[in-house]
Chain A
């Protein structure tokens, strides 16, 4: 397999953009990535795209085709990848393979999303054979309640306090004031967070991510091509996707196997991350920064422990000591994360590739992780999909 470089990244700001189409937003991200790469649209030999069920894509998730038609039909092959919120990461993984395999020398990976208003209705399938439909009619459990159950369990097991949960949101917003692409760029106090509406107890409104519109893109190329265009490429040390294992204790429908030791963890995320460690020859202690999918503050405590980045039960004290800030020992979401950007589902993996690239190049300004050399990104999506990526300079 050949080495693969990220030579250009671009992002459309995240937020609510009622006057922009998804195609316009993707175009802005793609043009920025091409310019950053010093490349022209006809140089792109293949496109790998996150496939949305919410916007564009001709109603069939053909979002990559929308981009190609808009940028100018050159006949390039297009791969549309569907993996819920992991679709951007999934598209990156395929884009990486298209270059590492030797099939193509330059590939565009893009993810864009315009989300409908309000909470995501988890299932689009109104049939009693669909486990999510059954869960909604028989129990009535939207997404945030799922996170709340995991969070409440952690509070019982580790003594996590409501104040500590709130401090994760405070930290995220403290960083996001320095990120021009963030939707929310306002600092909050712990009191502000705890006074925001309780959504699913113990989680407050400011402790879960809202839905947003957003787009992000990257240009991947072979080492030979990268050396022609830049002296400072960022390398894809590893990319992986995974799905869940049978007995991880996470109920994805009405029930799951109950592990005898009471545990529950996202095996799909762990598998993707561990696969990246192995492929990259990187150990958790080598990781300089992490962009993880913080749909809720809970994950910022649970994931680093599940992935060996810190000890079980250590996440709260790292937070309290400021070690998860960009200047700390284990910087988590120096972008501000999805708490501050919102969830633009299929763009999320590419959002992380952009932020990791800026950080590794030293272009992150006031949110810069000092001397960052190795960065880990991770997404989690419906259908028990997960993606992970390790970039290095």
Chain B
């Protein structure tokens, strides 16, 4: 029996912990501005600080908005053939970040602006070796 491997879509963006999924980013040591993905510097023009620290965010947030993507996106986006519409979300995290991600839901009609969502790591498509390529997503909490 073969086991399907879970391969992150790219390294260093997220992790799965006992307390749930986390996004990996940065926080400014001076003004607390948060960044995803990691940023080597703080971009807040009102901040004089230069030191940023590694920080992780999640898993809870509020759905700012969402949209069902009804047609296949152009490259370099990838998807399993035949294309099945998926839902995109924009989520406000309490750490002060507004983050894009796919929604994990079978029923986009049940989504509502302002609802509580949680971060999960799930399959977005397969690769040539039969592995699951995974990315961060949000699902109703």
Residues of chain A within 8 A of B135, CB atoms compared: 138-139
Contact of B69 among A121, A141, A255, A264 (CB under 8 A): A141
Known contacts A140-B102, A153-B113: does B67 contact A202 (CB below 8 Å)?
yes
Residues of chain B within 8 A of A134, CB atoms compared: 10, 13, 37
- Of A46-54, A70-78, A142-150, A373-381, the stretch lying at the interface with chain B is A142-150
B69 touches A257 (CB 8 A): no
CB distance from A155 to the nearest CB of B (A): 8
B97 touches A201 (CB 8 A): no
A249 to B98, CA, bound (A): 7
A113 to B73, CA, bound (A): 23
Residues of chain B within 8 A of A157, CB atoms compared: 113
Asked if A366 CB lies within 8 Å of chain B CBs, one says no
Contact of B13 among A138, A145, A149 (CB under 8 A): A138
Asked if A286 CB lies within 8 Å of chain B CBs, one says no
Asked if B141 CB lies within 8 Å of chain A CBs, one says no
Known contacts A145-B69, A200-B69: does B96 contact A257 (CB below 8 Å)?
yes
A137 to B74, CA, bound (A): 10
A133 to B13, CA, bound (A): 14
Asked if A103 CB lies within 8 Å of chain B CBs, one says no
A149 touches B88 (CB 8 A): yes
Tally B residues with Cβ within 8 Å of A. Answer: 47
A123 to B73, CA, bound (A): 13
Residues 86-125 (chain B) with a chain A CB within 8 angstroms: 86, 88, 90, 92-93, 96-102, 108, 112-114, 124
Contact of A152 among B43, B86, B93, B113 (CB under 8 A): B113
Residues of chain A within 8 A of B71, CB atoms compared: 197, 199
A245 to B45, CA, bound (A): 9
Residues 6-58 (chain B) with a chain A CB within 8 angstroms: 9-10, 13, 25, 33-37, 43-46
Known contacts A149-B67, A152-B67: does B93 contact A258 (CB below 8 Å)?
yes
Asked if B82 CB lies within 8 Å of chain A CBs, one says no
CB distance from B7 to the nearest CB of A (A): 12
Residues of chain B within 8 A of A202, CB atoms compared: 67
Asked if A126 CB lies within 8 Å of chain B CBs, one says yes
CB distance from A143 to the nearest CB of B (A): 10
Contact of A257 among B34, B78, B79, B114 (CB under 8 A): B34
Please provide the 4 A-B residue pairs with the shortest distance between their CB atoms, ordered closest to farther: A156-B113, A148-B67, A140-B77, A258-B98
Task: Given A138-B124, A140-B78, A246-B45, output 7 extra A-B contacts at Cβ < 8 Å.
Answer: A119-B74, A137-B77, A138-B10, A200-B68, A251-B100, A254-B99, A257-B97
